[in-house]
Amino acid sequence: MADQDPGDFLKGIKDKLVRSKEQWASDKRLITGRPDLGHVNRLPPGQKEVKNWPVLDLGVQPDVKPENWRLQIGGLVENPMHWTLPEFMALPQEEFVSDIHCVTQWSRYENHWRGVSAKTLLDLVKPKPEARYVLFTAYDGYTTNVKLPAFAEDNVLLAHSWEGKPIPREHGGPVRVVIPDWYFWKSPKWVTRIEISAEDRPGFWEVRGYHNEGDPWKEERYS
């Protein structure tokens, strides 16, 4: 499959899958009503630990060739920038270990990532004082949003490797976002554009009944 622009792939999404997840939001599925407000427990409420890494997507997995991958960061920044994969790999690299918490109830501990920290990228592009939000677009047309302070946390990165190997296509390779303190729908696969904005713009799941922030310990699954 040839590389395509974001948005082209959404024509192939599984409508039945999306409708079922919207119904989850309507039914408030998996909500225990017992939030862990102090993040006391490693496992957030309503979650179950798994050893594998389940594959979740919209029914489409874009085949983004490494030589064609591009990342753009723009919007309210002093230095809009873009990178090819070799240029991205030449940036300062970091290794993080973090847990994954998916809104579909599974959590996976001790994931070893390698990539470029969000702080490194923000230092390069220099958000303007009025910047408040970070808006992501992926090669499959998927979008999501977080507040700028959430993206600027020390443990956030754009990862190209997991467990010592390149992240495979089904999990978002060549590069995906990892924001471990939020439900994992906030960590888009196949990322290609990041916009820094003064205004919020809810993404694919946020406009379909899912919470605008997504703290697992507060059970912020749905709006």
Per-residue pLDDT, averaged over 179-199, amounts to 98
What is the per-residue pLDDT for 2?
Answer: 41
What is the per-residue pLDDT for 132?
Answer: 98
* CA angle centred on 83, ends 9 and 85, rounded to 5°: 75
Cα torsion angle, 154, 47, 208, 33, sign: negative
What is the per-residue pLDDT for 66?
Answer: 96
Q: How many domains does the chain have?
A: 1
Q: Rg of the chain over CA atoms, in angstroms?
A: 17
Asked if residue 141 is part of any domain, the answer here is yes
Asked if residue 91 is part of any domain, the answer here is yes
User: How far is 136 from 148, CA to CA, in rounded Å?
Assistant: 12
Q: Which position has the token pair 């309507």? A: 26
Task: Return the structure tokens found at 88.
Answer: 């991205």
Residue 180 clears pLDDT 50, i.e. is over it: yes
Range of the domain at 201: 8-30+43-218
Residue 192 clears pLDDT 70, i.e. is over it: yes
Residue 4 clears pLDDT 60, i.e. is over it: no
Residue 6 clears pLDDT 70, i.e. is over it: no
1-10, 14-23, 136-145 — most confident range: 136-145
Asked if residue 223 is part of any domain, the answer here is no
Asked if residue 36 is part of any domain, the answer here is no
What is the per-residue pLDDT for 5?
Answer: 52
Asked if residue 61 is part of any domain, the answer here is yes
Percent of residues, the chain, with pLDDT higher than 90: 88
Comparing 5 with 51, which gets the higher pLDDT? 51
**What's the CATH code of the domain at 96?**
3.90.420.10
Nearest residue to 13 via CA among 56, 54, 57: 57
User: How far is 176 from 157, CA to CA, in rounded Å?
Assistant: 9
Asked if residue 38 is part of any domain, the answer here is no
What is the per-residue pLDDT for 23?
Answer: 95
Asked if residue 37 is part of any domain, the answer here is no
Asked whether the beta carbons of 81 and 97 are under 8 A apart, the reply is: no
Asked whether the beta carbons of 44 and 216 are under 8 A apart, the reply is: yes
Give the model confidence (pLDDT) of 89-120 as tens digits. 999 999 999 999 999 999 999 999 999 999 99
pTM tops 0.75, yes or no: yes
User: How far is 132 from 85, CA to CA, in rounded Å?
Assistant: 27
Give the model confidence (pLDDT) of 32-55 as tens digits. 999 999 999 999 999 999 999 999
Mean pLDDT for all residues in the chain: 94
- Strand boundaries in the chain, DSSP class E: 48-49, 70-75, 81-84, 94-101, 106-117, 133-138, 143-147, 157-162, 165-166, 176-178, 191-197
Q: Which helix (H) or strand (E) holds 25?
A: helix 15-27
Asked if residue 3 is part of any domain, the answer here is no
Asked whether the beta carbons of 63 and 3 are under 8 A apart, the reply is: yes
Give the model confidence (pLDDT) of 9-35 as tens digits. 556 667 888 899 999 999 999 999 999
What is the per-residue pLDDT for 1?
Answer: 35
Task: Note the residue count of the chain.
Answer: 223
Per-residue pLDDT, averaged over 186-199, amounts to 98
Give the model confidence (pLDDT) of 55-91 as tens digits. 988 878 999 999 999 999 999 999 999 999 999 999 9
CA distances from 215 to 144, 220, 222 (A): 14, 5, 10
